[in-house]
Structure 1
């Protein structure tokens, strides 16, 4: 079972540079959430704050009643046992084979026997499709395999929260699709809380239950996938649909001249909301919502063609 993460009034600066201020959101237990934002908006800093590697100047991060932004180091150590983290490049030890890399947290943080360690490691490597590669060194495998090995290592302590930093970085579209499917399948199996930082818009439109957008030193919006994909808020609409018309420019914000030049331009129509990725088993995840449910509940008419599949017509349109 995943656990809820409740963030309230979080503010982080480095010297005089404010990264973001007053970030408030609740990441629902057991669901898959994605955090987006233009480069340099502090998405990775946000992940590091959630696990207590970086301390905010203000605000709280409540996990099972403990505020990890202010708790003693001993309590933080215990709370961190709830987490698994997949870093951008997998963060493998280059001199260790994949088996020993994946086994490292078990040997470091538990007193399990080597036979128990082997059973757990092979179970997790099977989950990510790496059985047979356990004797390879990280330098002998592809970037996609290193990501999967990093994911297996993040899973060995059976975390209730998985933090995943730009899993698509350096991957081609096909391998990005494979790792997206893997996340959905894992969520269906282990029911952990997933928070994924990504720049990949296609992944954002099809994978998560919830989406957040950091922009201009604040959280622009966080909520169910359909809420953001149907949003008319200019920043959200522009970023999630990869459009040039809107307030975001090459240097995060457009200047006054750029905004004046496009003031009479209409934003392109919202594209259809795609169907959410489903588990390979065909059995819906426990927290997965039916297509169009949020739109119906909130009286929102989705863009034409939303929720269409090859075998069915539009649902909720």
Structure 2
């Protein structure tokens, strides 16, 4: 199962340039969280700080009961084994085939026999759909396959936390959708904590359990998916609508004169788009981190944008969800037991009544 990440008052700068300051958030254990933000807001720096590659100026990063910035080198080395990292370009060794790339962490950090390494590597490659491609070189495969090979390598030490840096970078929308499905299925299967940095709005709207937004050198918002997708904050509306109107400018933020000119002209970043139903794992079972559609909005008295939670078939998932959960429970009962997997609980004992979540 995954480990909770708790960040308190984190600040990072390079010289006089403040990247972000006083960032506080909690990434729930075993759930999928996404971090959004305009280019240049330090999202990748944030991931590097979480894994201890960069040391913050001040603040705390609690991984379980360990405060990362205050660990000795030996304890930091051990704590890093809790992490798997998927870099933007996969970061594969070009001279090694995929098998050796994926096996590298096992050979570097363990004393396992080659027979056991082979079993683990092939298992992880099968999990990401690359079984049969283990003898190919990185230069012989597509960008999407390189991403999946990097993901298999990130999984070989059975991490409890998976950090993913812009997985959609260099991929077309179709491959991005397939990769998102891999993330969902992996989370359902292994129950690890996922934190994904992305610019892809569709990914942020359909994939995660929680969303955060970095902006103007601070964390503008972090919480359940519906909280951000129903927010009327100008920067959120602008980002979700990919609009030129709003506080985000080409260099990061607009100055006061630009914002005043937009206000005088009556320009608006537009209404928030409807909140789509959350993407499901391939097996159709409920992940531990999933929330009932509309539950957060109902609990907090928020009216979501019109058309929210309606899928392509016209089904309203606020109404459909109780029936879906009941049908799963009935199917499990007929089978004699509730299907089990790491990161999943009995749907009959989940918290899916409207208004039950905070």
CA contact (8 A) 1:165 1:196 kept: yes
How do 1:68-87 residues align onto structure 2 when only pairs under 5 Å count? 68-87=68-87
Equivalence for 1:165:
165
Q: In 2, distance between residues paired with 1:208 and 1:91?
A: 24
Q: In 1, distance between residues paired with 2:130 and 2:281?
A: 19
> Over aligned residues, Cα RMSD in angstroms?
1.1
Equivalent of residue 287 in structure 1, options 265, 286, 289: 289
Equivalence for 1:298:
300
Q: In 2, distance between residues paired with 1:75 and 1:313?
A: 50
Q: In 1, distance between residues paired with 2:175 and 2:314?
A: 27
1:113-142: CA deviation from partner (whole Å, max 9, x where unpaired)? 111000000000000000110000001111
1:217 to 2:217 alignment: yes
Q: Indicate the SS of the match to 2:187.
A: helix
Q: In 1, distance between residues paired with 2:102 and 2:206?
A: 29
1:194 to 2:194 alignment: yes
CA contact (8 A) 1:34 1:197 kept: yes
Q: In 2, distance between residues paired with 1:181 and 1:256?
A: 42
The Cα shift of 1:244 comes to 2.1
Q: In 2, distance between residues paired with 1:120 and 1:60?
A: 34
How do 1:85-124 residues align onto structure 2 when only pairs under 5 Å count? 85-124=85-124
1:244 to 2:244 alignment: yes
The Cα shift of 1:316 comes to 4.2
TM-score, with structure 2 as normaliser:
0.87
Q: Indicate the SS of the match to 1:69.
A: helix
Q: Indicate the SS of the match to 2:44.
A: helix
The structure whose residues are more often helix, as a share, is 2
CA contact (8 A) 2:241 2:270 kept: no
Q: In 2, distance between residues paired with 1:2 and 1:177?
A: 24
1:144-184: CA deviation from partner (whole Å, max 9, x where unpaired)? 10000000000000000000000000001110010011100
Q: Indicate the SS of the match to 1:186.
A: helix
How do 1:1-317 residues align onto structure 2 when only pairs under 5 Å count? 1-263=1-263, 264-316=266-318
| Number of residue pairs matched by the alignment | 317
Q: In 2, distance between residues paired with 1:219 and 1:245?
A: 21
CA contact (8 A) 1:296 1:316 kept: no
Q: In 2, distance between residues paired with 1:262 and 1:95?
A: 53
Query: Mean alpha-carbon deviation: is it higher for 251-260 or for 27-36?
Result: 251-260
Equivalence for 2:339:
none
Q: In 2, distance between residues paired with 1:299 and 1:315?
A: 18
Q: In 2, distance between residues paired with 1:182 and 1:118?
A: 22
Q: Indicate the SS of the match to 2:61.
A: strand
Structure 1: runs of 5 or more not aligned: none
CA contact (8 A) 1:295 1:316 kept: no
The Cα shift of 1:312 comes to 4.8
* Structure 1 ranges of 4+ moved more than 2 A: 264-267, 310-317
Equivalence for 2:343:
none
Equivalence for 2:330:
none
CA contact (8 A) 1:4 1:63 kept: yes
Q: In 1, distance between residues paired with 2:128 and 2:218?
A: 35
TM-score, with structure 1 as normaliser:
0.98
The Cα shift of 1:310 comes to 3.5
